[in-house]
């Protein structure tokens, strides 16, 4: 089973600052990685698919990059609504399996 590790566990930043979140896979997953944002009491929202493709309606201040085992989600300038938990997720086609990373919480400093 492919294990995803996210770092840091918590990122304390101020509005306007740049956030850099990391997701590392235990083996190569090509670009089969997604990022989600989850706010308290809400379902996760898809931000990026296939590592760097922005989902519909996601602001340009968010960017995704990486391939193989190392991936990054960057928020160029944090807005108040960006403080949330971010999860990465990988998918394998055979055998079909989906795993999520443990999450990174971005909170207000």
Partner 1 sequence: QVQLQESGPGLVKPSQTLSLTCTVSGGSISSGSYYWSWIRQPAGKGLEWIGRIYTSGSTSYNPSLKSRVTISIDTSKNQFSLKLTSVTAADTAVYYCASQLGYFDYWGQGALVTVSS
| Binding residue (CB under 8 A) for partner 1 from 19, 37, 87, 106 | 87
A 10 A CB-CB count for 66 gives 19
Q: Which two tokens stand for residue 78?
A: 């944090």
The CA-based dihedral angle spanning residues 11, 18, 84, 93, taken in that order and rounded to the nearest 10 degrees: -90
Residue 28 per-residue DSSP state: -
Closest to partner 1 by CB, 17 or 92 = 92
Closest to partner 1 by CB, 53 or 77 = 53
17 to 76, contacts with partner 1 by CB under 8 A? 34, 36, 42-46, 49-50, 55
If one asks whether residue 1 binds partner 1 (CB under 8 A), the answer comes out as yes
Closest to partner 1 by CB, 17 or 91 = 91
The site for partner 1, by CB under 8 A, has a size of: 23
Q: Which two tokens stand for residue 15?
A: 């509005």
Q: How far apart, in whole angstroms, are the C-alpha atoms of residue 94 and residue 30?
A: 14
Question: Smallest distance, Å, CB 43 to partner 1?
Answer: 4
């Amino acid at each position: 089973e492919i294990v995803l590790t996210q770092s840091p566990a918590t990122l304390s930043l101020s509005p306007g600052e740049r956030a850099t979140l990391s997701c590392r896979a235990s083996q190569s997953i090509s670009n089969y990685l997604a990022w989600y944002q989850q706010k308290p009491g809400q379902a996760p929202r898809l931000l990026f698919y296939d590592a760097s493709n922005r989902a519909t309606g996601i602001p340009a201040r968010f960017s995704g990059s990486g391939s193989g085992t190392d991936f990054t989600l960057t928020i160029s300038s944090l807005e108040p609504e960006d403080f949330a938990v971010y999860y990465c997720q990988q998918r394998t086609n055979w055998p079909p399996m989906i795993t999520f990373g443990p999450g990174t919480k971005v909170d207000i400093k």
